[in-house]
Amino acid sequence: MASIQIPTVSEARLLSVLDTAVDGLIVMDDQGRVLVFNKACETLFGYMALDVVGHNIKMLMPPEFSDNHDRYISHYLETGERRIIGIGREVRGKHKDGTVFPLELSVGEAHTPDGRQFIGVLRDLRSRKAVEQRLNVLQGQLVNMARVQAIDEMGAAIAHELNQPLTAVMLYLQAVNRKMGSLDEPEKLGPVLDILVRALREAERASGIIQRMRHSVERREPERQSSDLNALLDEALELTLIGHNIDSLEVERDLDPALSSVDVDPIQIQQVLTNLIRNALEAVRKSAVPKIRLASRLDESNAYVDIEDSGPGIPLEVAASLFKAFASTKRSGLGLGLMISRSIAQNHGGDLTVDAGGNGRGATFTLRLPLIVMQNISDD
């Protein structure tokens, strides 16, 4: 009868520590055999420790790693050349069901009376990868939405500005045409009149193009769906903080948990929130105590989001034209962000307003969205 080996107190304590670790921990010998396989690894790979201990660690690897693993160990033992030991890197593991998933692996080495042993610390990267992918998709959608919206608004502004001088050109051409038609010897003016008629026709055609442009960039109805406004705000914050390194930035969140969902176009509203948070970060960049506050609240009819910064506030002369096209306080800005944001809010039946602050107070932008979407009901 085989004797049962009872672990010592120190061994029992070590096993307890290993099994309570959040990260996966694997210990193997210099032949690649698994000696320790903790609870986190059981969750990670779907195997029980009894199924793995004593077997080659290659059973936990997809073919592109397992085929060369023994050769890597032999190469290290013979040459001492480190390729992964002491260096963390991203690898892939294979679950019991055959699923291949990303892992962050760090490997250490220990010299024991039983020979060299290697300790691997593994962290599941699936949730991080999912978040990164979600953020990349969301950022791409936001950038595309901002680009399309900017082109729309710019096209509307250009069409509006060009329409007035073009109309004046048409009126002048018509006046010249009438005047020349009333002169003596009109037959001598035939070629000139023909040119005027052609010019007038082209001006009318240009006017028609501009009118079609204006119609094509008129506001479109948002694609509404039930959305968690607090979640949209958190995602916008997470997205905006990427690439913004502001020392000692403090972010205060004061979100009303009762604000469960509103019927909005989530991409458009997230574009608004991202733009407002980005502006707040720019405002506090030079503040002695950089801080932004995000708050949500409700009344009987509306949901509100307040985005407040600890910046210097907005001068009153700037605040007066803040939501107009091409009005920007940034050297590289087109001045379309806030105009587009207000346009989106109003297209949802809400609004975007600002408390300019000043005298030691930063600015606060407030996004208002109606809780009930009013539908146009036509008689049958």
Q: What is the pLDDT of residue 48?
A: 93
Question: Each residue's pLDDT tens digit in the chain (380 positions)?
Answer: 444 444 555 656 666 777 778 889 999 888 889 998 999 999 999 999 999 999 999 999 988 777 777 677 777 777 766 666 666 788 889 999 999 999 988 888 888 888 888 888 999 888 888 877 777 777 676 666 666 666 666 666 676 667 767 777 777 777 777 777 666 665 666 677 777 777 777 777 677 766 665 555 555 567 888 999 999 999 888 878 866 677 688 999 999 988 878 999 888 888 889 889 988 998 898 888 899 999 999 998 999 999 999 998 888 878 777 876 544 555 444 445 788 788 889 888 999 999 988 777 899 999 999 987 544 333 33
The pLDDT value given to residue 63? 85
Cβ(347)–Cβ(219) under 8 Å?
yes
* pLDDT value at residue 2: 41
CA distance 255 to 303: 11
Give me the half-sphere count of Cα atoms (radius 13 Å) on the Cβ side of residue 192: 13
Residue boundaries of the structural domains of the chain:
19-124, 129-216, 225-370
Helix/strand number for the chain, H first, E second: 10, 12
- Please check whether the two domains, 129-216 and 225-370, share a CATH topology: no
Write down the CATH superfamily of domain 19-124. PAS domain (3.30.450.20)
Cα dihedral sign for 169, 174, 179, 180? Answer: positive
DSSP state of 300: S
Topology of the domain comprising 225-370: Heat Shock Protein 90 (3.30.565)
Query: Looking at beta carbons, which pairs linking 162-169 to residues 24 or more positions away fall under 8 Å?
Result: 162/210, 163/207, 163/210, 163/211, 163/214, 166/203, 166/206, 166/207, 166/210, 167/207, 169/203
Give which of 220, 224, 206 is closest to 152, Cα–Cα.
220
**How much is the pTM?**
0.49
Going by the DSSP 8-state scheme, the letter that residue 2 receives in this structure is P
Q: What is the pLDDT of residue 273?
A: 92
Q: Would you list the DSSP string of 8-32?
A: PHHHHHHHHHHHH-SSEEEEEETTS
CATH classification of 129-216, choosing from 1.10.8.50, 1.10.357.10, 3.50.50.60, 1.10.287.130? 1.10.287.130
Which pLDDT score is estimated for 214?
Answer: 58
